[in-house]
Chain A
Amino acid sequence: MNFLHIINQITETDPEFLNRIDTRRTAMSSFFGMGKKISALALPAFAGTMFQKAYGKTTDTVVEILNYALTLEHLEAAFYKKANEVAATLLPSEAARGAIKTIGDHETAHVKLLQNVITSMNATPVPSPAFDFTAGGTFADVFTNYTTFLAVAQAFEDTGVRAYKGRAGEIVKGGDLLEAALNIHSVEARHAAHIRYMRRNANHAPTIKPWISGKESNIGAVVQPIYDGEEVTKQATIEIVNINGMTISASAASEAFDEPLTKDQVLAIVGPFIVS
């Protein structure tokens, strides 16, 4: 679907649209109302234009954020693609194979969605880097050892959750583009919870929970940068431990809020997995 077609659709359902987009306020209210009329896939072409018009946020900035997200989705999609290719030997049960297939399908869908969005903004989606999922030998048996595989999967999913959160503030008031990012973000969190559940049930990490407790990775020091900062118990200067006389432990206070990671932190984390 191209941009002109979208505009045609808009003007069909809202004949006054083109007359109204010249002021900031009406532009944004039209923007918000649009989601009901156009698919999420088509919409962001319009979103990019609106960012520029309404908030001075350049398309370049939005494309940069989208390509950042796309890079992470490439990483995840390629990781699960490889795992699904060796599922018969890597994954020990029907349930495990089903779950990894489901997650892989979502990551592939995220890649396609982001590519379409970026293309529709007349920008170029970043190509998939070449990956080394052993991270230079750190996880040498990642596709032959189920324990290693699930640990790396958890690391990627928890990183993804933190990464999306870290850039959300830059696209505040971003209408349907922001909404799509949030819709991906919570799916990554569902994945992370399930991978953790798999590790617990497989007895790889018997005490791990679907949520992040303190800054505990339940993996080892090598992935610690993914979890550093998760242990905070204050939110917007409000202390959550035993808040208002409630019995809330430091663990619960940290678990109740997932924390963002900056772009630099995320790139440092995924760097060892990217060879080109």
Chain B
Amino acid sequence: MSTLKSDTGNRMVLDPLPRRRFLSYSMMTIGGATLLAACNKDKTDPMPSDKEINLGTDDIGILNYAYALEQLEAAFYIKVSQSTITGMTNAEMMMLADIRDHEIAHREFFKNALGSKAIPALTVDFSSIDFTKRDTVLATAKAFEDLGVSAYNGAGKLIQLADYLVLAGKIVSVEARHAAFIRDLISNGSFADNTVVDANGLDKSRTPAEVLTIAAPYIKDKINFSGLPK
């Protein structure tokens, strides 16, 4: 397999400024955490970021979409690992550290693969999460993992190059392993219950619009996904 960099360098060109300017006025932009930030404003917080991040188009857009989600997940587990969580055992913390490392690996992989076409670092907002409580941390982790699985499942059919599809496939099953494990920590046996798997035995898929709406409260930046394939 050739490198993603050379593939993208040869085949993908991100739209220059004019398109971005146009998109900033479009209806497709998802608002960041404006409302939530206003409710939870902490005086010691830096100014909320309101930069707009354009994911781009075609496969590059999908890879940036994945990169954004991996940034969010990695930041969450880094925060988890730095927290003292009442009721979380050492063994559980070690497993959560494993997950953190996986998400960092995914994030850095996408960053390098995208090279100059990578979106900038997101500014995350976890002010609504109580990182001292086991149930809150696990509930949030479950939400992020199930969201990640559904995001990759929904994005697969938007990908043009087989190599990218296989790479997404390599990652989504690991996210599904995370999701199952976190669910079992919350309630043993809930790894694939009927809230995520339907009567046909199928996991969920979500569109980028659905995923980014759910993720928006945790991201201060505006994610512009209007260039993604549909």
Contacts and interface: CB of A to CB of B under 8 A. Distances in A.
Contacts of B152: 182, 186
A205 to B, nearest CB: 15
Contacts of B157: 32, 173-176, 178-179
Contacts of A174: 157
Given A183-B153, A191-B192, A172 B101 contact: no
Interface in B1-42: 1-4
A240 B109 contact: yes
Contact of B172 (A99, A109, A182, A193): A182
Nearest to A39: B200
Contacts, number: 211
Contacts of A231: none
A237 to B, nearest CB: 5
A178 B175 CA distance: 18
Interface stretch (B82-90, B135-143, B159-167, B216-224): B159-167
B120 interface: no
A211 B95 CA distance: 10
Contact of A243 (B105, B199, B200, B230): B105
A260 interface: yes
Contacts of B101: 247-249, 252, 255-256
B203 A187 contact: yes
Given A168-B166, A197-B180, A256-B105, 16 more contacts: A165-B170, A165-B173, A169-B163, A187-B202, A190-B177, A190-B180, A191-B192, A194-B189, A236-B4, A237-B2, A238-B4, A238-B112, A243-B109, A243-B112, A247-B101, A252-B98
Given A182-B169, A246-B108, A255 B174 contact: yes
Interface in B193-218: 193, 196-197, 199-205
A103 B173 CA distance: 16
A237 B193 contact: no
Contacts of A236: 1, 3-4, 113, 163, 167
Contact of B159 (A172, A183, A248): A172
A235 interface: yes
- Which among A105, A170, A191, A211 has the greatest number of chain B C-beta atoms within 10 A? A211
Contact of B203 (A32, A186, A246, A248): A186
Contacts of B113: 236, 238
A135 B4 CA distance: 41
A107 B201 contact: yes
Contact of A110 (B98, B159, B165, B201): B201
Interface of A: 29, 32, 40-41, 95, 98-99, 102-103, 105-110, 112-113, 161, 164-165, 168-170, 172-176, 178-180, 182-194, 197, 209-211, 235-238, 240, 243-244, 246-249, 252-253, 255-260
Contacts of A253: 105
Nearest to B6: A237
Contacts of A237: 1-3
Contacts of B161: 172
A184 to B, nearest CB: 6
A183 B152 CA distance: 10
B102 A185 contact: no
A29 B157 CA distance: 11
B153 A186 contact: yes
A179 to B, nearest CB: 5
B189 A183 contact: no
A220 B73 CA distance: 34
Interface string B170-194: 1111111111110010001101110
B134 interface: no
